[in-house]
Chain A
Amino acid sequence: MAKYRLIVATGCPTGIAHTYMAQEALEQAAKKKGISIKVETHGQVGVENRLTDQEIIEAEAVIIAADKDVQPERFAGKRIIDVSVSKGIKEADQLIAAALNGEGVISEKVEMAEGDKEKQHAQQSIGHSIYKNLMNGVSHMLPFVVSGGVLIAISFLWGIYSADPANAQYNEFAANLNRIGGFAMSMMVPVLSAFIAEGIAKRPGLVVGFVGGLIASDGGTGFLGGIISGFLAGYVVLGLIKALKPLPKTLDGLKAIFLYPVLGVLITGLIMTVISGPMASINEGMMDFLAGFENSSPLVLGVIVGCMCAFDMGGPINKAAYVTGTALLAQGNTSFMAGVSAACIAPPLITGFAVLLFGKYFEPNEKNAGLVNFILGSTHITEGAIPFAAKDPLRVLPIMMLGSSIAAVLTYFFRVQVPAPHGGFLVLPVVTHGLLWVLAILAGSIAGGVLLGLVQKRKSLSV
């Protein structure tokens, strides 16, 4: 492998022009001086010409000419000249000369990444940075939801009770699929939280976000708790970094490996424990509340059930509706559960219809996830909708609630009866008025899907 005296990373916001102009300029400047150079570009098409660890180790110096994050923490311990991308274009010759002259700052492990992060933070508007950090969490969470959801859905093909050894449908392979899928799903909230925190505070945030997310998930807060713990963990770590700045530099190693993780996990953990505490009582309170409406009109009951199921998709409020449904089912009330199931099936289908009808306004991976959600929705795996909701809860959740409400209200109007607590459309053979039930769910899902698509369209046009 060739050795390079200088290595460079370039990047700009759009990733079409400046990134490559800086690459060209620096390559030309190096060529003039007869210096070996490798330039890594962070463009719209992704990272090209990626620097290997070996090349980073062997290089004399690093030039960063970027207006975006090019992962400078990789260059810890190297001499770095860090400038804007336009400097890279305009002053390529001077930069190369400076790098060869021994100019630049030797970066220290955590300190460098922090300094950069803070600079970036100051430049970004708050709204944009919240969105970026949320997206960081959501994009890492997505494969967990898809893999877990699809495996669980497949296990239902052996029957919706196939994972229960006490049931006649039990099948060992299906039970394993269900268990494996369950593990993937259970990582969802911790991963969401961890990578939101990582987006905010880089590496030191990761561990704190993970633990906070586990506490949120264990406490039954659902994905909304995961979002809270992610942001909490990220800012706790940023706070610690600030607070510990006065400590002597010799303690830097200790900070990264000991102080940030221990203190960060402790503080975030305590706060998350306090926050998850009332979840059980919220859950019970909602169940009592719901029980009072058991016999009210289809419209009122449907709206309440729809909003509850779609509000936190797996959190305390959704669980309250679901558990009430199964409890009433045990007492022989099969119509209440029909509405709950409809409201739980609708959200993933809403995302499915949104990407089907408004595909070009979604990112390619979102589009694929939306299509997978047709499978997850049809098998009552509401979690499929979470990546969409977590990205933009304030706008997406009301749409989900509306769509689920429509599905539940119509289900109650049609007097559908569902005698199974799970399984989605796979239990259709035992559903009374099954066709009407599907119609009710499709009506809610399409209405929600169109709305979600329109919101996405408006969002993407405004950027």
Chain B
Amino acid sequence: MKNYIIGIGGTGAKCLEHLLHCCSAGLGPQNLWAGMVDQDEANGNVSRTKILLNKYTNLRNSLRDESKHDLANKSNLFKTNISSNTDAVWLPMKDANPTLEDLIKYNLLKPEVKGLMDCLYDPEELKLNLSEGFRARPNIGAAAILSTTANEDDVFWSQIYKAIDAARGGEEVRVFIISSIFGGTGASGFPNIARRIRQIQKDKNVSSNFHLGGALMLPYFNYEVPDENMEGELFAKPEEFLDQTKGALQYYSKLFEHEKVFDQVYVTGWDPLTKLPNFKFGGNLQKNPPLFPELYAALGALRFFSEDNKIGETQEILHIGKNDSNDILWSDIPNVSTNLNSKTNITKLIRFAFAYNWMYGPALTGSWSKIKKYQDENWFKRLIYKNTFNTDTKACEVGHEQNQEIISAMQEYCQDVLTWITDMQYSTVSKTDQKMDLIVSDFFSEFNEKDSLERIKIKEKLNSSEKNQFNTMVNDNKNLKLLNIMSNICYQKIEKDQKGLGVFMDILFRSCEQ
């Protein structure tokens, strides 16, 4: 089965961030192509996901190399083989500082068409610099996306063509689109890209094996717009989100009545809305925190890709469910399938990230002269020494540059995981009466809501009393201690095909559950 995911706009990119972490925890399908669509290429949300995607693929490639370091097929760590284009982001308009006026060649239009355009767009909309996105103007975004060509030569669209060709060849293909229903890029891209994909499918006469799914994010956050220097600026106004959503839902209601665009649509929203502290027009400063509703969209996508998900003939619309209280609990997180328990895998990843970042990563970092003090310990002999020993040089090569690169890349990724879950927990409930106690994170991190560039600071070192709080970090009543993890890594069975550092990484990951 071939799977494709497209995150549209800032929200789409953020949902992809959640999805990547879920895939590293083993909740994803075997393979996945990921792409993003955003006119605001420098957008902080998009670039954060792009960086994470690169880290994921690099680390996975390093740890799933059959000749050197191999986690082996059975391992759930970084299970999904995620691929993407060299540039994972598709820009509908590729010129520098594009405007709608340039795009439709307004000055060359016949007077009557010009008049029509004047009816549809304000002069400032026509002249708006779109390099930072469509600024919550789906009417601009729709025109921009529809005016671009969707031919096979385009790097982004060529993937869709390949997908449809594969479906024609008899392979099961699933494409999933995630975006917000409000805002600019997502609202305009979601229906137009979906319909275009269906059009290509129709043109190619593909009637089976191809399924299209989508996650629509209804409003789930807002923010305060500062009063100063905002006159004449076009930007996403939170007070318009609900009206925009109402209009969009009416549109989708009619669209879905007449046309089966999607096989499955996952609808997610949140009440009360999360209040984001920092308003930014767009660009690299717009780095919104990961929020809990986005995790639902990501899990919706993974459910869609699951082989257990049998897609029927009728269009299904699924929405999220949560317990009635204001507390957000682990039990509110839906499973991907009957065999893939989201809570188990995510908690395992969090524990792995902690144990690796503060206990095992530092022990494996540095030259052999620093690392060798562990050489007599069972876990080291069994998992590291034996698997990084070079029979030609008769030396353990864990301190070699190539291995050290993997060790430090994993540590960086673990910090991303801890930042992600901590930021999500703090930011989702900030300034609301909700409570989210999935994990206890204050002993290893500091939260500064106003610092949009570094809201979460993960402590570099922990003292022993902080390390001892590991067993209470995840609120799942498992009471798994660091001692249990040390014990597990000494006894867990090494799989036959595992090699190099892949042995240790997988064993540590598997050891992080009871």
Q: Do A and B bind each other?
A: no
